[in-house]
Chain A
Amino acid sequence: MAINWYKYASPASFYTLAGKMVPFFTILAIGLLTIGLYIGFFVAPTDFQQGEAYRIIFIHVPAAWMSMFLYVVMACWAGIGLAFNTRLSSMMATAIAPTGAMFTFLALWTGSLWGKPMWGTWWVWDARLTSELILLFLYIGFMSLQAAIDDPRRADKAGAIIALVGVINIPIIYFSVQWWNTLHQGASVSVNQAPTMASVMLTGMMVMVLASWMYSIAVILKRVRIIILERESHTAWVAELRKKGAL
C-alpha cells in the first residue's frame, strides 16, 4: 500500500497527523531520557581519569550532534520549500531553528562547564568550540532574518537562501578554523584523544542521543502545529476547529 505523501504536504492534514505524533514522541523522549539519565548517574562507573566530571558527556555529546544535524535538516527543508514552493517545508525549517540554536547553546554551555575542571579554563579557542560558536551565529542570523520580515512567504524564501548559503559554508568554516587552530599552536589540549570509552558509558550516551532526537521531533512537531495555526488562522478549517472547541 502506497502512502499518499502529497496529502500530508497540505498544512491542514499535516496538522492532524502531527497532533497524533506529538504524544507518541513525547512519551518516547521522556522514557529514553529517564533510562539515559539513570545509566548516566547510577550505572556508569566513575572515570578513573576525569572523575565524576565526565558525566557531562551524557548531555554534551547529544547536544553537539543534534546542533549540527538539525542545521542540515533545517537547510534541507528550507531548500525543498524553495525548490517546490511547498509552504509546509518552509514552516518545518522555521520550526527547527530555535531547537537547533538551543542545542548549540547547550553544547557550548556544558562544554565550558566541563572545560573548567578538566582544562582549567572555561573557554579555549579550540577548532571545535570555535566552529560551534559560529554555528550559533548562523542559527541566530537565520532566525533574526525571518523575524525581521513581515511577509511570511518572503521570510520563508529569504531564510531558505541564507540557510543554504550557510550549509555550503559550514565545511569551509570548519576546515578554516581547524587549520587556523593548528597554525596558531593555540590550545594544547586536544579533544580528539579521548580514551576508549567503557561500553556502559557508550550505551548511556547513545540512549541520551536517541532521547534528544525524540525530544527534537516532539518539540518541532508541536512548534510546526503552532506555526500552521498562526499562518492559517484565516482559513475555513481552522475556523471549524475553533467552532468544535478543539483549539
Chain B
Amino acid sequence: MFFWIIQRDLLLAVRRRSDVLTTLFFFVIVVSLFPLSVGPEMNLLRTMAPGIVWVAALLASMLSLGRLFSSDYSDGTLEQMLLSPQSLSILVLGKALAHWLVTGMPLVVMAPVLGIQYDLPADALFVLVVSLLLGTPVLSLIGAIGAALTLGLRGGGVLVSLLVLPLYIPVLIFGAGAVEANMAGISYDAHLSLLGAFLLVSLVLAPWAIAASLRVSLE
C-alpha cells in the first residue's frame, strides 16, 4: 500500500509535468536573483552561496506544499484513504516521500549547477548535495503537517508559510552550516549527523502528526 501510494503520486506527477518544473524553476530563479541584487562580487557570492541555496530550497519546497493534499481532497480520494483499513500514518508517509521525490529530489540534482554559478569549490558542492539530500526530506515531512492542517482553508498558502517556516529553521541552520564549515576548512560531520538525526526523528514523529492533522481537517 505504501509503495502503491508512492507509485500513484509519481504517476500523477509525470502526467502533470509542469507542476514539477515550476517548483524547480522557482528554485533556479530565486537563486539567480541574488547576484543581481547584491552585485557580482565573487568572494561575497561564494560566502553567501550555501545560505542562498538553502533558503531557496526552503521556499521552493514550501510553495509546492499546497498541492500535496489539495487535489486528493477535492476529488474525495483523501476521504477514502482515511476510511481504508491501512494505517493512515503509513499512507501519509508515502505521500510525503512522493512529494520529496517530485520536488526535493530535482532541487538536490539542480543544486550543484547553481553552486558552480556561485563559484563553489568541488568538495563544497559535494557537501551541499549531501546536506540537501538529508535535509529536504525533513522539509517535506514537516511541511506536510502544515499542509494537512490548512487543508481547505481560505488563504491556506500564506498560512502554511507562517506555520512551517519557523519549524524549518534548525534544518536551515545545519544544512547551510555544513557547507560553510567545509569552506572554512573545519569538520562538517557534526552538521550532517544532526541533519540525519532530524531526518530520523521526523520520519518517526511527523507521519503521526500528519495523520492526526488530516483527521482534524476532514472530520
Partner-B contacts on A (CB < 8 A): 134, 137-138, 140-141, 144-145, 148-149, 154, 157-158, 161-162, 164-166, 168-169, 172-173, 176-177, 179-180, 183
Smallest CB-CB A-B distances: 10 pairs: A176-B170, A157-B216, A137-B166, A180-B173, A141-B163, A141-B162, A176-B173, A158-B149, A148-B153, A172-B170
Known: A137-B166, A169-B167, A176-B173. A158 touches B217 (CB 8 A): yes
Residue from B145, B159, B181 in contact with A165 in the complex, judged by beta carbons closer than 8 Å: B145
Could you show 5 A-B contacts with beta carbons less than 8 Å apart?
A: A148-B150, A161-B149, A162-B146, A172-B198, A183-B180
**A177/B173 in contact, CB under 8 A:** yes
**A173/B217 in contact, CB under 8 A:** no
Interface centre among B165, B170, B198, B209 (most CB of A within 10 A): B170
**B159/A183 in contact, CB under 8 A:** no
Interface centre among B145, B149, B150 (most CB of A within 10 A): B149
Partner-A contacts on B (CB < 8 A): 145-146, 149-150, 153-156, 159, 162-163, 165-167, 169-170, 173-174, 177, 180-181, 198, 205, 209, 212-213, 216-217, 219
Which chain B residue lies CB-closest to A181? B173
Give Cα distance in the complex from A158 to B149, angstroms: 6
In angstroms, how far is the closest chain A Cβ from the Cβ of B191? 9
In angstroms, how far is the closest chain B Cβ from the Cβ of A152? 12
Residues from chain A with a CB closer than 8 A to the CB of B217 are: 154, 158
In angstroms, how far is the closest chain B Cβ from the Cβ of A133? 9
Known: A144-B159, A154-B217, A154-B219. A161 touches B145 (CB 8 A): yes
Known: A158-B217, A176-B174. A134 touches B169 (CB 8 A): yes
Interface of A is mostly: helix
Give Cα distance in the complex from A134 to B205, angstroms: 21
Give Cα distance in the complex from A172 to B163, angstroms: 16
Residue from B145, B170, B180, B219 in contact with A173 in the complex, judged by beta carbons closer than 8 Å: B170
Give Cα distance in the complex from A141 to B177, angstroms: 26
Residues from chain A with a CB closer than 8 A to the CB of B198 are: 172
**A141/B166 in contact, CB under 8 A:** yes
Residues from chain B with a CB closer than 8 A to the CB of A179 are: 173
Residues from chain A with a CB closer than 8 A to the CB of B163 are: 141, 145, 162
**B169/A173 in contact, CB under 8 A:** yes
Which chain A residue lies CB-closest to B184? A183
Which chain B residue lies CB-closest to A183? B177
